[in-house]
Amino acid sequence: MQRTQWYKDAVFYQIWPRSFCDGNGDGIGDLWGVLSKLDYIASLGVTGIWFSPLYPSPQADFGYDIADYYDINPEYGTLDVFKQVLDGAHERGLRVIMDLVVNHSSDECAWFKESRSSRDNAYADWYIWRDGKTPGAPEDGGTPPNNWDSLFEGIAWEYEPARDQWYLHIFAKKQPDLNMDNPAVRAEVEKIMRFWLDLGVDGFREDVITYISKTEGLPDDNPLMPAARGMRFYDHGPHVHEYLQQFRRNVLSEYDCMTVGEAPMISAEKALEYCDEGPDQELDMMFTFEHMSADCVFTDWIPRPFDLRAYKQALGSWQTGLAEHAWNSLYIENHDHPRIISRYGSERYRVESGKSLACSYLFLRGTPFVYQGQEIGMTNTHLERVEDSADVSTFNQVARLRRLGLPEVACMKLVNRATRDHARTPMQWDAGPGAGFVGGNGAAEPWYPVNPNYVDINVAEADKDPHSLLAFYRKAIALRRKLPVVRDGSYREFKRASKSLFAYAREGESQRLLVVCSLSDQITYFSLPEGYDPSQASLCLCGYGDAPVEGNGFFLRPYECRVYLFEG
Ligand code: GLC
Ligand code: CA
């Protein structure tokens, strides 16, 4: 099979199914809803869809806890409806990639149910079971095998009386880690991949894929580490490359598909180990978090003021670091982060900052992903109480903060800054009841409250307005797809030290694209760099209604952005 690298021309739209569109009127997003919105998705000019998990799941982590890898969550539809979505997408020129979550499964997966039932069964070695340091149940003084932290829920171990052993869970208790060292587990991963590829899907987004190989002996971490103890023993673990190469060789290389691996902690240099386009290539691209840490330290829960230079530095290091060797993925929102306008932009200049942020990444080298609602400028919601959250990781963070003695008011402030709920409020389709998210007769309550600003911020409203963020996204995506230089050109940054402007060019032989984005509410002058003659420039995009030029440059109004093309 010839792999064509079609993904280099692709633009993806990410759907988090529970909150995208409810077709059958029970208040939960589903595939019938997606079917009804395929034309809308195609109207954005995107060429693919990434589905966050659609599989049967108890939803402890909203599908990132899979109970059956070969089926569709009945709340969302059936395999038949999925087939219809797939065909409908393909008819519209949209490829479809699935989320593949194989670092862990749900504890309600048949494999785990059997695995936990005894030390001696067909699945006994499919998960990471260890004896406690001190034997026995925790209530009898038994202690866990090591001192690792779960990233989602307390310690990383849970005791199972039937085996008198503990299982490892890097995420929530209901997400036991699979034992990838077991060849039978790897064979099963191959089977899952083939199942979906044979059904017609075009690839995978591989969840926390850098965590799948754990250091032998699972050694204790430094007890003084304040959080995420153990991570250095499983992130980029000893066999990760061997296993990913196996999947590539045995399955992925036989299909013209694409893969993007999620890598919570990775630099551009490290990414080359996974996606350098040489004979040992494992994945086609990685999702980095580096540029998503420009207003926080390590996680969204340790805040700092937005630092544009950190954002530019992170993006730039991937542009130049991967250059001709590997391909980038590009994103500024997904289901794990608060809304970007509320973070890096300005709710006061919502539309302007939304446009500027769009330009800050859509014209870089790589495959862009747009998250549902990002294209209409959805913003963070407001939680009154911790109980308003639906997110297991938020509860964990709050428990941690309370243990540290943080007062409740301060806790709530952090929740409102960092919780993943912001990205998971229902999609705002129109100003009607339930924001047009609820199907059927529209009477059901949405599973999670709609952001009250849906009355003003919604697709129907934006569709009517030629200056809306939605209209801008459509133009920007079309421009990106039209100009070969955006795919192939080299990357050059200007005004690196600026704390208000992000300016870069994509340079090819016959075309050069200059992108200037203000991420400040101050008026700032930008003078064109040497070799860029304003009289030769044609304006492709501007975040404001007009684009006056003064001298050898122009003034950018609050959060203004412009894109100029230079030809010849
Ligand atoms: C990834 C997913 C996130 C999930 C976690 C555990 O980071 O994006 O939503 O909670 O993995 O599966
Ligand atoms: Ca539904």
Q: Where are the domains of the chain?
A: 6-103+180-383+419-470, 104-179, 384-418, 486-567
Which ligand is in closest contact with the Cα of 81? Answer: 2
Q: Are 531 and 488 in contact (CB under 8 A)?
A: no
For the chain, give me the number of helices (H) and strands (E)? 15, 20
Question: Catalytic residues, which ones?
Answer: 207, 262
- pTM greater than 0.85: yes
- Regarding the beta carbon of 462 and ligand 1, being less than 6 Å apart is answered no
pLDDT (0 to 100) of residue 226: 83
Please state which CATH number belongs to domain 6-103+180-383+419-470.
3.20.20.80
- Regarding the beta carbon of 371 and ligand 1, being less than 6 Å apart is answered no
What confidence tier does 535 reach under pLDDT thresholds 50, 70, 90?
A: confident
What confidence tier does 201 reach under pLDDT thresholds 50, 70, 90?
A: very high
Which conformational region is residue 187 in: left (phi greater than 0), alpha (psi within -120 to 50 degrees), or beta? alpha
The closest alpha carbon to 401, from 415, 383, 387, 422, belongs to 415
Tokens of 97: 């990639």
Q: Is the pLDDT of residue 271 over 80?
A: yes
C-alpha 73 to ligand 1 mean position (Å): 18
Kindly report the length of the chain.
Answer: 568
C-alpha 16 to ligand 2 mean position (Å): 13
Q: Is the pLDDT of residue 77 over 90?
A: yes
pLDDT (0 to 100) of residue 145: 98
C-alpha 50 to ligand 2 mean position (Å): 19
Gap between the Cα atoms of 329 and 400, Å rounded: 32
Nearest residue by C-alpha to atom 4 in ligand 1:
64
Ligand 1 pocket mutation pick from 52, 287, 336, 424 by most atoms within 8 angstroms of CB: 336
Q: Is the pLDDT of residue 153 over 90?
A: no
pLDDT (0 to 100) of residue 216: 97
Q: Are 28 and 447 in contact (CB under 8 A)?
A: yes
Q: Look at residue 78 and give its three-state secondary structure.
A: coil
pLDDT (0 to 100) of residue 534: 83
Helices (H), 73-182: 79-91, 110-117
Gap between the Cα atoms of 230 and 222, Å rounded: 8
Q: Is the pLDDT of residue 150 over 80?
A: yes
Mean pLDDT to the nearest integer, 38-47: 98
The residue whose two tokens read 């700092």 is 304
What confidence tier does 298 reach under pLDDT thresholds 50, 70, 90?
A: confident
Q: Are 327 and 319 in contact (CB under 8 A)?
A: no
pLDDT (0 to 100) of residue 568: 82
Ligand 1 pocket mutation pick from 59, 104, 207 by most atoms within 8 angstroms of CB: 207
- Regarding the beta carbon of 208 and ligand 1, being less than 6 Å apart is answered yes
Nearest residue by C-alpha to atom 5 in ligand 1:
64
Identify the CATH homologous superfamily for domain 486-567. Answer: Golgi alpha-mannosidase II (2.60.40.1180)
Please state which CATH number belongs to domain 104-179.
3.90.400.10
Ligand 1 pocket mutation pick from 208, 235, 287, 299 by most atoms within 8 angstroms of CB: 208
What confidence tier does 299 reach under pLDDT thresholds 50, 70, 90?
A: confident
pLDDT digits (tens, 9 = 90+) for 208-228: 999 999 999 999 999 999 889
Q: Are 3 and 202 in contact (CB under 8 A)?
A: no
- Regarding the beta carbon of 336 and ligand 1, being less than 6 Å apart is answered yes
pLDDT digits (tens, 9 = 90+) for 464-508: 999 999 999 999 999 999 999 999 999 999 999 999 999 999 999
C-alpha 253 to ligand 1 mean position (Å): 26
pLDDT (0 to 100) of residue 99: 98
pLDDT (0 to 100) of residue 347: 98
pLDDT digits (tens, 9 = 90+) for 378-401: 999 999 999 999 999 999 999 999
- Regarding the beta carbon of 65 and ligand 1, being less than 6 Å apart is answered no
